[in-house]
Amino acid sequence: MQIAYYKTPIGTAKVEGDNNGISSITVIDKPVDTSTEIPICLKNCFLQLDEYFEGKRTNFNLKLNPKGTEFQQKVWKALIKVPYGKTKTYLEQSKVLGDIKAIRAVASANGKNPIWIVIPCHRIIGSDGSLTGYASGLWRKKWLLEHESGIKQQSLF
């Protein structure tokens, strides 16, 4: 397994993967130096993350290899289908998966998503439109949704 650290506008990400694909992208809250040498198997991921944060990429085209249960894998595959700049509720996601009663299990699987941003669990919101349930911090979820909205808020100060 290869590991490299990538600096984003909202924190440093630890990227893990090998020739079988990206297995994990997690945001780290403690200070970590970004990697100066990127393993070949992670270079395309870094390039696509650059493009995403520059506003040039709306879809990722990476080989993914997240570890999880069969149910978690099903939830994560459904997350990838939520379009850039759009949101769905946990209830809508449960309906897509065929079981509205599985809403808590779906929310739990979202919370265990090992591939930050690329598997876009930040696009799932509460039924009332609230930002809820984001392992990387609600402020990051808000930032990502605003980034994807295309509407840039100007500062008054």
pLDDT of 95-110, one tens digit each?
999 988 999 999 999 9
Q: Are residues 23 and 91 in the same domain?
A: no
Q: Are residues 43 and 77 in the same domain?
A: no
pLDDT, residue 33, reads 87
In the predicted model, is pLDDT for residue 151 greater than 80? no
Q: Are residues 94 and 40 in the same domain?
A: no
45 is an active site residue: no
Question: Residues 49, 115, 121, 144: which is the catalytic one?
Answer: 121
Residue 63 domain-assigned? no
Q: For residue range 65-77, what is the model confidence (pLDDT) as tens digits?
A: 999 999 999 999 9
Residue 28 domain-assigned? yes
Sequence-distant (≥ 6) Cβ neighbours of residue 93 within 8 angstroms: 75, 78, 79, 82, 106, 110, 124
Q: Are residues 98 and 138 in the same domain?
A: yes
Q: Are residues 97 and 127 in the same domain?
A: yes
Question: Quick one: pLDDT band at residue 29, thresholds 50, 70, 90?
Answer: confident
DSSP state of 70: H
- Number of structural domains in the chain: 2
Q: Are residues 8 and 40 in the same domain?
A: yes
Domain holding 92, by residue range, is 70-149
Residue 144 domain-assigned? yes
Residue 59 domain-assigned? no
Average pLDDT over residues 26-42: 91
Q: Are residues 75 and 48 in the same domain?
A: no
Residue 58 domain-assigned? no
Question: Quick one: pLDDT band at residue 157, thresholds 50, 70, 90?
Answer: very low
Sequence-distant (≥ 6) Cβ neighbours of residue 22 within 8 angstroms: 15, 16, 42, 45, 62, 63, 64, 65, 66, 115, 118
Residue 39 domain-assigned? yes
pLDDT, residue 132, reads 86
Whole-prediction pTM value?
Answer: 0.90
Backbone angles phi, psi at 23, to 5 degrees: -105, -20
Give the H or E element holding residue 107.
helix 103-111
Q: Are residues 32 and 76 in the same domain?
A: no
